[in-house]
Amino acid sequence: MRIKTFEEYQTAYQQSVDDPEGFWAEIGQQFKWRKPWKKVLSWDFNEANVKWYEGGEMNITENALDRHLEERGDQVALIWEPNDPDDEAVSITYRVLHDRVCRFANVLKKHGVKKGDRVCIYLPMVPELTVAVLACARIGAVHSVVFGGFSAKSIADRINDSACTMVITSDGAFRGNKVIPMKETVDTALDQCSTVKSVIVMTRTRTPVSMLKGRDLWWEEEVKHVDSICPAEPMDAEDTLFILYTSGSTGKPKGVVHTCGGYMIFATYTFANVFQYEPGEIHFCTADIGWITGHSYIVYGPLCYGATSVVFEGVPTYPDAGRLWQIVAKHKVNILYTAPTAIRSLMSFGLHFVKDHDLSSLTKLGSVGEPINEEAWQWFKQNIGGSHCPLVDTWWQTETGGIMISPLAGITPEKPTYATLPLPGIQPVLVDENGKEIEGNGVSGNLCIKFPWPGIIRTTYGDHERCKQTYFSTYPGMYFTGDGCLRDEDGYYRITGRVDDVLNVSGHRIGTAEVENAINMHLGVVESAVVGYPHDIKGQGIYAYIITESKPDDAEMFRKDILATVSRIIGPIAKPDKIQFVSGLPKTRSGKIMRRILRKISEGEMNNLGDTSTLLDPAVVEEIKKGAL
Ligand code: PRX
């Protein structure tokens, strides 16, 4: 499965374009199947229909766990590093993980969860999160992991959208020096959900929680009374494995659906190749399992490839800004995969937090989630990687299931800030506004992918039309990523950022419409417009222009109240960094907000606003410019 040289990469790439089915069939054969597939690929981008390995029967947990038992049952699968560095880390072997997953799968079954049922998981980064995810997969239940930073309302929206019948959570979570109530938040969410029949609560902080008779169950009690044998449910390659909600430019977050076979193969193949994983290496991805990066590169990719994966409960700045480096030294981490925001933030604390830690175990570095600026790239490469570790800037999305454009560590010649070249099987194209392909090098345009790959989104849960509209209709016949991109003279790709109304704040994807809706729910707010602006640490910050019914008596307090509303409606990650009260917004005569102008003002480019002649009331722009923050 692994490519070892640049020539091999070139050959594999060519083969994947000339004979995609042959290429992916060969890789597919390296996994454990109960029944072979009948057809490698069938697809129709116009209808947003893609199927891989049709008719094949398998279970991803047999690939992630059972398959390894004979050869590496006693090898560590997960290393859990708790929030507090003084607490003991826990190592879980493949055999123990298999046992725990089977037990918990039996708990799920005992409480009526069946193949195809949706289960919402709202847990901190504890080993039980991985166990819960794999237990769902074991019995064919569809997991929908919700990131621990989301509000009760966001949880409720996600539970209701996919009619989850069970929630798995904890009493509380430790995050830095905070204790976060998890069960209480779930309880509030469940006031608005009628489909949930049971809640399993794992003990982490032993925060007092209400436990409702007939609905709520303690994890620790439940696992005592079940068998450790649980045969894996046979799954069709195209059965749903999980739903993961993500933000778009309009409406509520959508449930991205991934299926069993294609996702497994793509996550594993990309893990093995991008990171050039060598047996015995320790892989540390700092993402949360609540995001796709955690799904693919903490859980499924590494475990299906038989790797050792670190799960870190805490935050990079607790107890101090040396925490990640301390973890690298402590567990002799070889591969460190993190986000530009974390790098920029840790850079700002200074090198003395790095110097005390022995980072010599590192062999490879990775970056994901947002464009990485040259300064952060160089700092990471030199100060963390000692200039000798390959650094892979990996571009991909929740919808792609796995890494799409990236160097293969130590194989593809690097270029700072460039995701470089597409992985085998990935056919990127740049298109202009009219959907015409822009050929040649030294060009930029909107990034599309013109041929399916096994990890591609299959649908948006409960609304296939939305999937078609969002990804396959802007440029007919192609998957549209929503990203702008340039291809340099060497044919190297550099992602420049979203071209739609989606923000990328600290690597978190947030729709401007979502934030506006939340702000508009606040008493006294008439209308709002949200744009992103360049932020030194977060990449993008959130700038909100808000029209209020009357001038607030205490503007500062009003701002804080709005932040509280956004936290309650979405979660703290969506809180605006800047709020400017305005009396009007720049609108066209047809009533459309001209965000381009607001974006320029938020960037401080006051004198470069472009054509404002189509505005209904150009005077409003002058007022906004004067009050800009
Ligand atoms: O804009 C791109 C940016 O993150 C978006 C996808 O966000 P999400 O679905 O949350 O997945 C993040 C983790 C895979 C993309 O549309 N993005 C992701 N990786 C990069 C990136 N932008 C530039 N460079 C990257 N390496």
pLDDT tens for 328-360 read: 999 999 999 999 999 999 999 999 999 999 999
CATH (domain of 594): 3.30.300.30
> DSSP secondary structure string, 12-52?
HHHHHHH-HHHHHHHHHTTS--SB--SEEEEEEGGGTEEEE
Whether 288 is covered by a domain: the verdict is no
Cα–Cα distance measured from residue 138 to residue 348, given in angstroms and rounded to the nearest whole number: 43
Distance 401 CA to ligand 1 centre (A): 12
Structural domain including 542 reads 502-627
Chain segment 270-320, per-residue pLDDT in tens: 999 999 999 999 999 999 999 999 999 999 999 999 999 999 999 999 999
Q: What is the pLDDT of residues 43-76, one digit of tens each?
A: 999 999 999 999 999 999 999 999 999 999 999 9
56: DSSP letter: -
**pLDDT band at residue 611 using 50, 70 and 90 as cut-offs:** confident
Mean pLDDT of the chain: 97
pLDDT value of residue 299: 98
CA-to-CA distance for 208 and 172, rounded, in angstroms? 9
The pLDDT score that the predictor gives to residue 249 is: 85
pLDDT confidence bin for 610, thresholds 50/70/90 = confident
Residue with the smallest CA separation from ligand 1 atom 22 is: 370
Smallest CA separation from ligand 1 atom 13, residue: 369
Q: What is the percentage of the chain residues whose pLDDT exceeds 70?
A: 100
Question: Residue whose CA is closest, atom 24 of ligand 1?
Answer: 371
Q: Is residue 415 part of a domain?
A: no
The whole-number average pLDDT for the span 19-40 is 98
Query: Distance between CA 377 and CA 514 in Å, rounded?
Result: 31
Which residues on adjacent β-strands are paired with residue 201? 169, 218
Nearest C-alpha neighbor of 139 from the set 117, 169, 121: 117
541 found inside a domain: yes
- Asked if residue 30 belongs to a domain, the reply is no
Instruction: Identify which of 125, 537, 83 has the alpha carbon closest to the alpha carbon of residue 318.
Output: 83
Residue 44, number of CB atoms within 10 A of its CB: 12
Domain tally, the chain = 1
Residue 508 lies in a domain: yes
Cα of 483 to ligand 1 centre, how many Å?
9
- Expressed in angstroms and rounded, the spacing between residue 236 Cα and the centre of ligand 1 is 29
Which residues, in sequence order, are CB contacts of 608 under 8 Å at separation 6+? Answer: 600
Determine, yes or no, domain membership for 620. yes
The residues, ordered by sequence, that sit 6+ positions from 415 with a Cβ below 8 Å of its Cβ are 488, 490, 492
Burial class of 436 by CB neighbour count within 10 A (0 to 12, 13 to 18, 19+): exposed
- Ligand 1: residue of 397, 501, 505 to mutate (most ligand atoms within 8 A of CB) is 397
d(CA 571, ligand 1 centre) in Å: 20
pLDDT reported for residue 613:
82
Position 579 in a domain:
yes
Supply the pTM of this predicted model.
0.97
Single-letter residue type at 427? Q
**538, part of any domain:** yes
609 pLDDT more than 90? no
Q: Which residue puts its alpha carbon closest to atom 23 of ligand 1?
A: 371
Extract the runs of DSSP E, i.e. beta strands, from 549-590: 578-582
CA separation for the pair 3, 523 (Å, rounded)? 58
- Using the mean position of ligand 1's atoms as its centre, give its distance from the Cα of residue 477 in Å: 22
Atom 15, ligand 1: residue with shortest CA distance: 397
The pLDDT tens digits for 141-150 are 999 999 999 9
Q: What is the pLDDT of residue 378?
A: 98
Nearest residue (by CA) to ligand 1, atom 8, is 397
Nearest to 55 by CA among 79, 25, 76: 25
Q: Can you tell me which atom of ligand 1 is nearest the CA of 481? A: 16
Question: How crowded is residue 431: how many other Cβ atoms within 10 Å of its Cβ?
Answer: 18
Euclidean distance between CA atoms 330 and 282, whole angstroms: 11
In terms of Cα–Cα distance, which of 424, 430, 555 is closest to 494?
A: 430
Q: What is the pLDDT of residue 251?
A: 82
Q: Which protein residues are within 6 Å of ligand 1, measured from CB?
A: 246, 292-293, 368-371, 393-398, 419, 481-483, 495, 497-498, 504, 509
Return the residue whose CA atom lies nearest to atom 6 of ligand 1: 397
Question: What Rg do the C-alpha atoms of the chain give, in angstroms?
Answer: 24
